[in-house]
Structure 1
Amino acid sequence: MISIPKLLDLQGELFVLIGLGFFFRKRNLLPHDFQKGLADLVIHLILPCNIFHSFFTDQGKHILSRGREIWIVALLTQIACYIFARTALSRISEERRSVMQYGTICSNAGFIGTPIVQGLYGAEGLLLSAVYLIPPRVIMWSLGLSFFLNQKQKKREKNWKKALLHPCVIAVFLGMIAMMRNIHLYPFMEKSIVALASCNTGMSMFLIGMILSELKWRDFADPMILLYTFIRLITIPTVVFVACRLFGVSELVTRISVILAAMPAGGTTVILSEKYKNNVAFASGCVTVSTVMSLPSLLIWGIILK
């Protein structure tokens, strides 16, 4: 079963960081212009470094060969989520559609899910979760990013070009090449990337806190936010669990896949909404409510998977 103290500790870290951003903006210790600048810094520098660094491992091809099964599960899960987002969520109002669509394929598995899996299954679980996260990272910064770009651009060709040239997408492909070819950087370069990558969680959550400081609490009673939370925390992991059982996926891969599929909305949902002038209030509500509700839902999944 999932360790309650560890899960509470992870959730506590998340809300402390959000709380700091909330406090600094609410007390006007930081100007509103700083918010946009921070979003640009995270999107164009800190997050790409975090993504690139996450691919670095001395075991490259060995990890991929061992994790082929979980890689396939992750890829099929992302494809299914993308199809669901494009079809079932297509009739939602335009101002909320892209947020729900992106949030359906983008979770906070990298920040919350990986530590939980490592705590439950040790080094093997950590390696398998790293492999699982490869398809989500590629899709969220290509197909996922197109959900936001489609609102601002008319031509699909331009959307795809902009998505593929996004710093985060470039970081994904460079990271995959480095992992597959077992490339090593000079120590000073690697240390610089690690230093920037380590800022990702703090800066991202701080930014979310700043955005939340300008919201009205009644936004969190929105039925669409509750619907999204149900889809993210219940529907998606249930489908993954049933599919893994039906197709005879190994027990460990099934457990890790379900846990990572049951993660709340990723913080990048809010960051991209801020970046591309989308419905930031709705995005923040989706991230916050799903994160709060992930605590009891993960405990339930822990009991089911025990």
Structure 2
Amino acid sequence: MEIAYRLIYSVGIFFVMMLPGIIMKKCRLSTDGFGKALSNLVLYIAQPALILRSYLRSFDSKILINILYVFILSVIAHVIFTVAAMLCFKKSPDRLRRMLRFSTIFANAAFMGMPLIEAVLGAEFLIYASIYNITFNGWLWTVGVYICTAHRDIDGDGISDGDHLRKNDGISPLKVILHPAMLSAAIGLVCFFLSLDPGSDYTVLPVYSRFTVEVLDGLKALVAPLSMVVLGLRLADIDFRGFFKQIDLYVCIVLRHIALPALVFLVMKLASLFLDLDANVVMTVLIMASAPVATSATMFAEMYDCDAAYVSKVVVVSTVLAIITMPLIALLPLI
């Protein structure tokens, strides 16, 4: 129960962190590009620092085994979400259907999941969260791009216009490899295998180890507050009139927040009968899988001419609902 309480407390703090963004937007203290600049700061600086810092520890074979388990479980989780999403929303308009499926599959694992892991379980478990994030980014730039681009109905006549015959612009192994989260995780794994633990007697850079760690600690502390400020900026800018009348929204929310995370937990419960799954590994995957809709949904909607205005509302509603649903899902291992 303690984990659930900590999760409720942490999500509540995150919710309050949105208020500065709302206030700044309503009081016209931010420019149109301010939110994007903050997002870039998190994506390219703060989040890589958070990931890299989690790997600066002594090598441990048990951690390595857990990393392998998390990777396998994260792939299984994404397969479950993808299959469910592709089976749903078949009657929705093309542009809307794509983003509903995207929103169902992709969670805000990096901007919200990882800071929550640190707050609830501790910084030492961020190494597992970063592995989940590797799967997320690989899935995002392959399956995510495919969902947004394949068999597009450009003119809305219900007929595929042959866009799938064109090159799927955006599906690129290079984009996956060069993603900041992927690069920082790769560098971090090297540090982990070399046992670059700043707290140990031996380190390759004994003079700069403390300095480096303090820099990384300062930068990684920006992830949660800046992510929530960005969300507050978006929340203040959205008109929700008529939004809640669409049934597909509720299907997406139930799948994203409750049904599919619960199914992922059942799979892990079954796997634990045959594998020695650490309880914190299970909780890490569960928290990451139950995170709200990814903020990247809005970016992809804009990139691939889908319904960006609609998906922005989905992201905001999903994040607010996560205050209730994530602690409930976190209770599953305690049942």
TM-score, length-scaled by structure 2? 0.72
Contact 2:102/2:144 (CA < 8 Å) preserved in 1? no
- C-alpha root-mean-square deviation of aligned residues, in Å? 3.5
- In the other structure, the counterpart of 1:159 is 171
The alpha carbon displacement at 1:301 in A equals 3.8
Counterpart-to-counterpart distance in 1, 2:4 and 2:22 = 26
Q: Identify unmatched segments of 5+ residues in structure 2.
A: 150-162, 197-203
1:214 counterpart letter in structure 2? D
1:159 counterpart letter in structure 2? I
Counterpart-to-counterpart distance in 2, 1:2 and 1:52 = 28
| Cα separation, partners in 2 of 1:268 and 1:191, compared to 1, 3 Å | farther
1:196 aligns with 2:219: yes
SS at match of 2:230: helix
- In the other structure, the counterpart of 2:191 is 178
Q: Identify unmatched segments of 5+ residues in structure 1.
A: none
Counterpart-to-counterpart distance in 2, 1:66 and 1:33 = 40
Q: Deviations over 1:170-228 (max 9, x none)?
A: 22322222223334663334433332222111111111111221101336524333222
- In the other structure, the counterpart of 1:14 is 14
The alpha carbon displacement at 1:268 in A equals 4.8
Counterparts in 2 of 1:95-244, with a 5 A limit?
A: 95=96, 97-98=98-99, 100-101=101-102, 104-106=105-107, 107=109, 108-116=112-120, 118=121, 127=124, 129-130=125-126, 132-146=128-142, 149=145, 151=148, 155-156=167-168, 159-160=171-172, 161-183=174-196, 186-187=208-209, 188-218=211-241, 221=244, 222-244=246-268
State the number of aligned residues.
Answer: 297
Counterpart-to-counterpart distance in 2, 1:157 and 1:31 = 30
Contact 1:219/1:282 (CA < 8 Å) preserved in 2? no
Instruction: Give the share of equivalent positions with the same residue, in percent.
Output: 20
The alpha carbon displacement at 1:144 in A equals 0.8
| Cα separation, partners in 2 of 1:71 and 1:220, compared to 1, 3 Å | same
| Cα separation, partners in 2 of 1:217 and 1:295, compared to 1, 3 Å | same
1:58 counterpart letter in structure 2? S
Counterpart-to-counterpart distance in 1, 2:55 and 2:137 = 15
Counterparts in 2 of 1:2-41, with a 5 A limit?
A: 2=2, 5-41=5-41
TM-score, length-scaled by structure 1? 0.77
Counterpart-to-counterpart distance in 2, 1:251 and 1:192 = 31
- In the other structure, the counterpart of 2:95 is 94
SS at match of 1:216: coil
2:325 counterpart letter in structure 1? S
Counterpart-to-counterpart distance in 2, 1:19 and 1:134 = 28
Contact 1:145/1:163 (CA < 8 Å) preserved in 2? yes
The alpha carbon displacement at 1:105 in A equals 3.4
Structure having the higher helix fraction is: 1
2:133 counterpart letter in structure 1? R
Contact 1:208/1:271 (CA < 8 Å) preserved in 2? no
Mean CA deviation greater in 227-236 or 51-60: 51-60
Counterparts in 2 of 1:62-81, with a 5 A limit?
A: 62-66=62-66, 68-81=68-81
